[in-house]
Amino acid sequence: MKIKFASAPAKGSIAVAAFDKAELSKAAKDADKASGGAISRAISASRFKGGAGDTLVITAPSGIDGDRLVVFGVGKKKPDGNALEQAGAALTKAVLTSGETALAVDLEGIGDADGAGRFGLGAMMAAYRFDQYRTRLSDDKKPSLKTLTIATGDDSAAKDAWKIYGAVADGVYLARDLVNEPSNFLRPPEYAKRIEKLADLGLEIEILGEKEMTKLGMHSLLGVGQGSVAESKIAIMKWNGGKKGDKPLGFIGKGVTFDTGGISLKPGQGMDEMKGDMGGSAAVVGLMATLAKRKAKVNAVGLVGLVENMPDGDAQRPGDVVTSMSGQTIEVLNTDAEGRLVLADVLWYAQKTYDPEFMIDLATLTGAILIALGHEHAGIFTNDDKLAEGLSKAGQATDEKVWRLPIGPEYDRQIDSPIADMKNIGEGRLAGSITAAQFLQRFVNDKPWVHIDIAGTGMWSGSKDARLPTFGTGYGVRLLDRFVRDNYES
């Protein structure tokens, strides 16, 4: 679907706004009058309230030069960006497969140019589909809507805003595609090849293989992938859009392309969802693509550790001890606590090689975060209050919310090992997400750092939010792009 902007809606099927308590906007009042009161009658016969996300479709009303007149709710008379995203998403869902090919949205007087961009972003998020492997999809279930034209008072400013939000939409699509991709098509070498193609956007790409990682002493990461026939990789993406000499912003992602649990085998039920255990890496890849597409005025580096955790005759065993790149030794008591082993070496390599301004890692790391926060918030753990505050504000602004949880030396005893420097799991089910973060902190060397556990937000099949598809959400791209824009670009 393509998003366009115009100064006034063209003839044809149109969408107009309503506010709380079904109060009509000026455009909606005009359409109601033109249609002989069709909107008023339809509202009286429905449960439409005008809240953000409400829609009402009126087919072929008299007096309207189009097949449909759609009323969409925005809630308050001065809706914020999230409400406009929700409105754009709900509207798109209502007509996406209806047979309609083009729809004009009258947003004049509702929000500013940035709001028009947010409306378009919501529409694009709702239009996302992952149909690559569906060969017998009937025509009536295929998307028909090709163009959404948003009419606003200042289409020039809206087009400028779309340079940002269009790039964000592309980044979210990329992240979703990666998470939704079946793991037999996205093993680490193939994943690395797809990342290499992002050089076309202006990113500098470097790929480390097992030979290079062995020389670097990355036995923590390599141990996770040693049971797979697919070679483990680290993909590095650099964007140089800031001042020469400025430290890059550092983003690190867990990219376990499939997680069986290894020898500590997961239960069979639901294991298919472990194709999405690389959601943290997908967010980093999507973010880096977004920064490049919108020509962000920052320097940034994204690093993703790509491995496959399989049970095999050569797989890592519970009780093994490995030496990380940092020189610290790890007793691996559970091979299903593998994401932290991957991140340990990538975090260490990132700070030693690039000395970033900060490091933010994202990972579908623990089931415990789902118990604590469900699907509504990602958990953040950090040694830096300023980073926590910035991410919290960005989360509120984008509806990719985060909630800070504690770390501290009192949790260290849970991961101290009697035979190595540390063990990779804590004590039973106690504070599982916290002890995982505590483990990662041992590899950041007091560098400003945030760990974002997205196990609940990166994969979600039951959301009622029209912006979110089934399964891979692309969580993290909008959050981090907003965080960068608000705090590191003038």
Instruction: List the catalytic residues.
Output: 266, 340
CB 415 within 8 Å of CB 422: yes
Dihedral of alpha carbons 291, 295, 301, 305, sign: positive
Strands 55-59 and 147-151: unpaired
Name, in order, each residue with C-beta under 8 angstroms of 411's C-beta and a sequence gap of 6 or more.
426, 431, 434, 435, 438
CA pair distance 456, 371, nearest whole angstrom? 9
Computed on alpha carbons and rounded to an integer, the radius of gyration of the chain in Å comes to 24
Helix (H) or strand (E) holding 104: strand 102-106
For tokens 């990719």, the residue is 400
| Cα–Cα separations (whole angstroms), residue 305 to 209, 218, 235, 288, 308 | 10, 11, 7, 15, 10
The distance from CA 166 to its chain's CA centroid, rounded to whole angstroms, is: 15
User: What is the amino acid identity at position 435?
Assistant: T
Helix (H) or strand (E) holding 360: strand 359-363
CB 188 within 8 Å of CB 231: yes
CB 430 within 8 Å of CB 372: no
